[in-house]
């Protein structure tokens, strides 16, 4: 009989880094569940893909190039030569500022993001954006313009709150840090009976 080992770790598909428990059998992860001891453990739907991210045979593991509308596997050497040629051409024609660098969310806060920033510097481009440019920093800028420069990342105070009106946001889907606090309050009867309206609703009222 196989021994199944349970390993507590983090999902790193976004910057929330929710707590997960991974069941491992013969050195292979076979099941992922929320880590009940972790404060952020309400996993979003992306976590369903965690095993596939590691093991799916559909993963793209070598560079692909589209030639005559068809994707073709190419070597790393060919890929680097092709990309270097493109980068050189852009720089010659438009200068370093002609290129925008963008990283997606899993890289935010990681060493990978710092490497992209360093590369943008070396290339001569100040144009760097990331998933945070679309979400986190737009919120920070809106907060600072609305309240004050010092209040750049204000969050609602849930603890004394009797009534919550959500307008165009569902914390269970898009603000998991807040959703954990509200879930905790619901468990203590602070929003009892209304927590069930949370899921599947873009806007809802808790009283």
Which CB atom, from 51 or from 90, has the smaller least distance to ligand SF4? Answer: 51
The reply to whether 22 sits near ligand SF4 by the rule CB under 6 A is: no
CA dihedral 182, 187, 188, 190 (to 10 degrees): 50
The reply to whether 51 sits near ligand SF4 by the rule CB under 6 A is: no
The reply to whether 18 sits near ligand SF4 by the rule CB under 6 A is: yes
Residue of 2, 4, 13, 88 interacting with ligand SF4 (CB under 6 A): 13
Cα 1 to Cα 21, 26, 149, distances in angstroms: 21, 11, 61
Which CB atom, from 8 or from 127, has the smaller least distance to ligand SF4? Answer: 8
The reply to whether 176 sits near ligand SF4 by the rule CB under 6 A is: yes
The reply to whether 11 sits near ligand SF4 by the rule CB under 6 A is: yes
Judged by CB under 6 A, the stretch of 15-23, 127-135, 147-155, 188-196 that binds ligand SF4 is 15-23
Which CB atom, from 12 or from 190, has the smaller least distance to ligand SF4? Answer: 12
The two structure tokens encoding residue 44: 């979003």
Residue of 21, 23, 29, 46 interacting with ligand SF4 (CB under 6 A): 46
Q: Which residues have a Cβ under 8 Å from the Cβ of 178 and sit 6 or more positions away?
A: 155, 156, 158, 171
Task: Catalog residues that contact ligand SF4 under the rule CB under 6 A.
Answer: 11, 13-14, 16-18, 43-44, 46-47, 176
């Amino acid at each position: 009989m196989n021994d199944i080992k349970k390993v507590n770790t983090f999902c790193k598909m976004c910057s929330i880094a929710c707590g997960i428990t991974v069941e491992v059998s013969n050195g292979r992860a076979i099941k992922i569940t929320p880590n009940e001891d972790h404060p952020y453990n309400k996993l979003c739907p992306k976590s369903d893909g965690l095993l596939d991210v590691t093991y799916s045979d559909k993963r793209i593991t070598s560079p692909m190039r589209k030639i005559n509308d068809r994707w073709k596997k190419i070597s790393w050497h060919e890929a680097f030569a092709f990309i270097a040629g493109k980068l050189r051409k852009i720089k010659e024609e438009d200068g370093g500022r002609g290129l925008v660098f963008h990283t997606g969310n899993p890289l935010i806060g990681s060493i990978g993001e710092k490497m992209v920033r360093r590369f943008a510097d070396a290339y001569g481009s100040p144009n760097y954006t990331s998933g945070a440019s679309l979400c986190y920093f737009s919120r920070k800028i809106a907060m600072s313009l609305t309240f004050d420069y010092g209040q750049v990342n204000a969050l609602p105070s849930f603890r004394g709150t009797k009534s919550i009106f959500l307008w165009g946001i569902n914390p269970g889907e898009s603000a998991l840090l807040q959703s954990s606090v509200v879930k905790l309050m619901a468990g203590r009867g602070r929003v009892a009976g209304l927590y069930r309206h949370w899921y599947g609703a873009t806007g809802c009222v808790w009283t």
